[in-house]
Amino acid sequence: MSTEPTTASDNPTKPVLYLVACGGYVAGQLTDFIARRQADGWDVCVIATPSALKFMDTAKLAEQTGHVVRSDYKQPDQPDVLPVANAVVLVPATFNTVNKLANGSSDTVALGVLHEAIGLKLPMVVVPTPNAALGKHPVFVASVQTLRSWGVTVLFDPETNPLPAPRSGLNATDFFPWEGLESAMGELRANR
């Protein structure tokens, strides 16, 4: 598959899904998720935070999606290499990114894309992956509430999907709500 830049007009019949990934083991496990989205008819584009790059094989993701993995800002005079998004999913969403997103901080291209999507009222699914202590932090709890009040679907329910204890040797991958994410993506696709 070509990794040449595409534009929105290259495939006008497929809706475009921006898959934004933060740092964490789940960022390295997205190929199957992408394949399922492609089977559902999505044109998937991956955007990564700098920390997510540590977990990803960007060449493999570019080959799978046909798009370069964006992780840094382009020059103002350069054309955008990704087609325009119809929906956005943030998987995994770190404690830091959830709080920055809810508070308007935009110091990475990933956050900039997410903020634009909120401003455009694009459908968005966010899957936070904090540990149990960070999941109870008052700022994080308020951030989740803020995002939900803006119409963002936030898949975060520690009662249903327990979080790993700090320094337990477990990580968010062990507790990741893949089934809930698949359900949310099915709803998102049905509403397209």
pLDDT at 174: 73
CA distance 116 to 130: 24
Q: What is the pLDDT of residue 172?
A: 65
The predicted structure's pLDDT at residue 10: 52
- Give pLDDT, residue 108: 95
Q: How confident is the model at residue 37, as a pLDDT?
A: 96
Query: Of 109, 140, 138, whose CA–CA distance to 126 is shortest?
Result: 140
Would you kindly state where each structural domain of the chain is located, as residue ranges?
8-190
DSSP string, 171-191: -GGGG--HHHHHHHHHHHHHT
8-190 CATH, one of 3.40.50.1950, 3.20.20.60, 3.40.190.10, 2.30.130.10: 3.40.50.1950
Q: Which residues of the chain have pLDDT under 50?
A: 1-9
pLDDT attached to residue 7 = 42
